[in-house]
Amino acid sequence: MSPREILVVDDNPADVALVRESLAETAHQSRVHSIADAGEAINYLRREGKYRNNVRPDLVILDLNLVQRDGHTVLLALKGRANLRQIPVVVFSSSAAASDVARCYGLGANCYVRKPADLKRFFAAVRAVEEFWFGYVCLPDKEEG
């Protein structure tokens, strides 16, 4: 089976690097692609413009505090589209605000994980997310469209 594809939408390169580090040596050998900008991320997921030929990701890891447009916009764009809705979205944010959590689930996020402040826990959280979605969960076949 070809490796799974994860799209990380996060404008903090340090966090993207940590996610990559977390997944570098796991059994799933997922491919990690990262985009910093909300608008670009939406184009990528819709496979528009220069992203026409890219593979649709199996999982989106989405930060909330993005420049210009925030992560909620990406969530709305994803979950508001019939052919994108099935892609699981893990919101990965340092915000502990109950309002952020509620809003994300309201917009259809599949789960909300707070970025741990401790390195070991950060690695563990990202690996647990990967293991859950790629090791245990049954995902739908990728629709071509």
Partner 1 sequence: MAMIELCKPGQQLRLLLIEENGDEQDPTVWEMDYDGKSLPGDPRRAPAKLHDWLNERNICPCAPRRNAESQLAKKVEELARSNRELEQFAHVASHDLREPLRMVATYTQLLAERYRGKLDLHADQYIDYAVDGALRMQTLIEDLLSLSCLGRTGERRRTVECDLVLEEVLRDLSLAMKESGAVVHYKSLPSVVGVRSQLAQVFRNLIGNALKFRSDPPPVIQVTGERAGNECLFQVSDNGIGIAPEHHQRIFAVFQRLHTRAEYPGNGIGLALCKKIVEQYGGRIWVESRPGAGSSFKFTFPAAELEPADA
Positions in the binding site for partner 1 (CB under 8 A): 12, 14, 18, 21, 65, 94, 115, 117-120, 122
Shortest CB 113 distance to partner 1, Å: 14
- Provide the token pair at 121: 């826990």
Shortest CB 84 distance to partner 1, Å: 29
Tell which residue, 10, 18, 27, 50, has the closest CA to residue 119. Answer: 18
Rounded (10°) CA dihedral 41, 36, 67, 65: 90
Shortest CB 107 distance to partner 1, Å: 22
> Distance between CA atoms of 44 and 40, rounded to whole angstroms?
6
17/139 with CB nearer partner 1: 17
98/138 with CB nearer partner 1: 98
118/144 with CB nearer partner 1: 118
